[in-house]
């Protein structure tokens, strides 16, 4: 049997997907399946300063883990571990090791609090546990920093030291360089761990490279999770590395219980909250960034991959690893806010629209359900029809107003409407036919920011002194329902009650300056 062992981190790293709410019985089932598969180490969750709930894999002490762990006689050769972030857990709550619960504590720390993290490692070791040092984002360390860290680790003599590719940015050459530093400078008795993420879809190949280049005498542990479950984009798939070890390293793992566990427990979680490779997270890995930056930009639901790439590439080095939401919001707003002189466009629109009936067509499902009523209104009043962020197939429109790059891209194949009105944040994607309006003027005001397309269009009407408007399809967002008239507009970036509240607040101000007639049912109609 190889001196390379496998560690499953489904219940810990996978817990970022479901807030560690696996459920008590499911947790026990997963642990039983992993033990039956002869996985060497099973990580059962986090040690945290928290309110204990048996359905969540978060624990204040080891005693709370007893109920989910099999008795010693039914563990085979599997050992159990939990992870602690040194600044999120009071080490004084950790009981001395008694052999009845977990065997190993994995301790994480950042490059800016190494000494605090290593002090935590010492205390956990003094309490009798085997201890892993898991420095966050090894790719953020220079060679000199790694050497300095290894010197301190050698003084403490933990059980293991892990190569943790937190942001999934590691390439083959990076792994070779980092492992060489470790092999030549880490005490030979200390086990080397490897924890990979799937940002670049390289975890399986990097794991194989690690196995191939590891010194024969050095013991090692490779992390994986069932079906790669972990915060987007996920981890190395445990079942794949188990099979590889069986076929190439004399492993004796039984993949069947793990595969059964995936079918029974993990697949359904992935259907609810998907994980896996996507381009935005690949871009975050490219720049070795905290994944929350990509998540923030994706959550806007308004940016193309090219735009996300440009924003991520502009993040300063000192902001990359510690997520700063205010900072990325400022970058996003700055990127969106291209100033243009729109006075000529405003003048033309005022001349064309003055004293005319105006109908805004929003993309809500009601424009299909209430088509008869809308058609009757159009036939009777002959309004100027302006669609918002889409081109409806069932209605003719005079203008299309667009403020969203993703929506604009989806419309490009259908743009037979010459009168395209776009906001200036789309300058890098719109064509020369478009008339451009200042994004900031329509998005920001003294109450803050609202980048809902319909709200922005109403603000445009107010700028050119329109006093009255009719609107259809501005339905509001309802949880669990299809909120759009066209299926292509359905997005993974769902909106809900918070968006409704914000839009209602802005509408109340708009209605002080312009009368709004709702032709279709709306959550905003009060």
Would you tell me the crossing angle of helices 203-213 and 238-248 to the nearest 10 degrees? 30
φ/ψ region of 138 (left if φ > 0, alpha if ψ in -120 to 50, else beta) reads: alpha
Could you tell me the residue ranges of all domains in the chain?
4-272, 279-336, 343-518
Q: Where is average pLDDT lowest: 151-160, 234-243, 325-334?
A: 325-334
- pTM of the model as a whole: 0.75
Query: pLDDT digits over 77-125, tens only?
Result: 999 999 999 999 999 999 999 988 999 999 999 999 999 999 999 999 9
Name the β-bridge partners of 192: 161, 220
Q: State how far the Cα of 347 lies from the Cα of 330, in Å rounded to an integer.
A: 31
State the pLDDT at residue 492.
47
Question: What is the share, in percent, of the chain residues with pLDDT greater than 70?
Answer: 95
Reported as a single tens digit per residue, the pLDDT across 166-176 is 999 999 999 99
User: Is 72 a residue whose pLDDT tops 90?
Assistant: no
Max avg pLDDT among 28-37, 270-279, 396-405: 28-37
DSSP 279-330: HHHHHHHHTT--HHHHHHHHHHS---HHHHHHHHHT--GGGSSS--HHHHHH
- Token pair of 139, please? 């790719």
CA angle 55, 58, 64 (to 5 degrees): 80
Find out whether 41 and 221 touch, Cβ atoms under 8 Å.
yes
Name residue, tokens 């008694």.
98
pLDDT at 303 over 60: yes
Question: What's the rounded Cα separation, in Å, for the pair 9 and 76?
Answer: 18
- Rounded to an integer, the average pLDDT of 336-356 is 91
Instruction: Tell me which of 446 and 316 has the higher pLDDT.
Output: 316
- Average pLDDT taken over every residue of the chain: 91
What are the structure tokens assigned to 479, written together? 């949880």
Tell me how far apart the alpha carbons of residues 149 and 93 are, in angstroms, rounded to a whole number: 27
Domain 4-272 has CATH 3.30.450.90: no
For residue 469, name the pLDDT band (cuts at 50, 70, 90). very high
């Amino acid at each position: 049997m190889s001196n390379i062992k496998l560690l499953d981190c489904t219940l810990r790293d996978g817990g970022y997907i479901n807030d560690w709410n696996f459920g008590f019985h499911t947790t026990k089932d997963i642990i039983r399946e992993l033990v039956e598969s002869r996985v060497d180490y099973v990580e059962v969750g986090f040690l945290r300063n928290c309110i204990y709930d048996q359905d969540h894999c978060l624990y204040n002490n080891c005693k709370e883990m007893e109920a989910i762990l099999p008795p010693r006689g039914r563990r085979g050769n599997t050992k159990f571990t939990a992870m602690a972030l040194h600044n999120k857990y009071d080490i004084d709550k950790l009981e001395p090791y008694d052999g009845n619960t977990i065997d190993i504590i994995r301790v994480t720390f950042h490059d800016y609090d190494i000494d605090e993290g290593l002090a935590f490692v010492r205390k956990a070791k003094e309490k009798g546990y085997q201890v892993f040092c898991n420095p966050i984002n090894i790719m953020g360390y220079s060679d000199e920093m790694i050497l300095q860290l290894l010197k301190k680790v050698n003084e403490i003599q933990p059980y293991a030291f892990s190569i943790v590719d937190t942001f999934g940015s590691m390439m083959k050459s990076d792994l070779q360089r980092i492992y060489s530093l470790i092999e030549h400078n880490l005490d030979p008795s200390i086990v080397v761990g490897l924890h990979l993420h799937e940002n670049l879809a390289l975890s399986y190949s990097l794991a194989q490279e690690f196995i191939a280049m590891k010194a024969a005498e050095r013991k090692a542990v490779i992390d994986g999770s069932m079906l790669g479950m972990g915060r987007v984009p996920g981890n190395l798939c445990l079942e794949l590395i188990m099979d590889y070890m069986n076929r190439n390293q004399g492993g004796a793992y039984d993949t069947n219980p793990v595969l059964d566990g995936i079918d029974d427990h993990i697949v359904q979680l992935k259907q609810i909250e998907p994980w896996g490779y996507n381009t935005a997270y690949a871009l975050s890995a490219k720049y070795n960034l905290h994944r929350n930056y990509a998540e923030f930009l994706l959550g806007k639901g308004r940016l193309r991959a090219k735009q996300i790439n440009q924003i991520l590439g502009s993040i300063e080095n000192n902001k990359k690893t510690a997520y700063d939401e205010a900072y990325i919001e400022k970058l996003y707003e700055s990127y969106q806010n291209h100033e243009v002189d729109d006075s000529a466009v405003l003048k033309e629109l005022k001349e064309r629209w003055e004293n005319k009936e105006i109908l805004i067509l929003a993309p809500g499902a009601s424009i299909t359900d209430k088509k008869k009523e809308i058609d009757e209104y159009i036939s009777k009043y002959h309004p100027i029809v302006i669609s918002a962020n889409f081109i409806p197939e069932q209605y003719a429109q005079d203008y299309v107003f667009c403020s969203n790059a993703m929506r604009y891209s989806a419309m490009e194949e259908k743009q037979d409407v010459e009168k395209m009105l776009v906001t200036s944040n789309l300058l890098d994607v719109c064509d020369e036919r478009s008339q451009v309006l200042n994004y900031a003027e329509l998005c920001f005001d003294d109450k803050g920011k609202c980048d809902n397309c319909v709200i922005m269009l109403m603000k445009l009407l107010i700028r050119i002194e329109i006093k009255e408007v009719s609107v259809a399809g501005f339905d509001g967002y309802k949880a669990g329902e299809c909120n759009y008239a066209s299926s292509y507009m359905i997005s993974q970036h769902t909106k809900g009650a918070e968006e409704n509240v914000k839009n209602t607040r802005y509408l109340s101000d708009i209605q002080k300056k312009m009368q709004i007639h709702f032709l279709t049912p709306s959550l905003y109609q009060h």
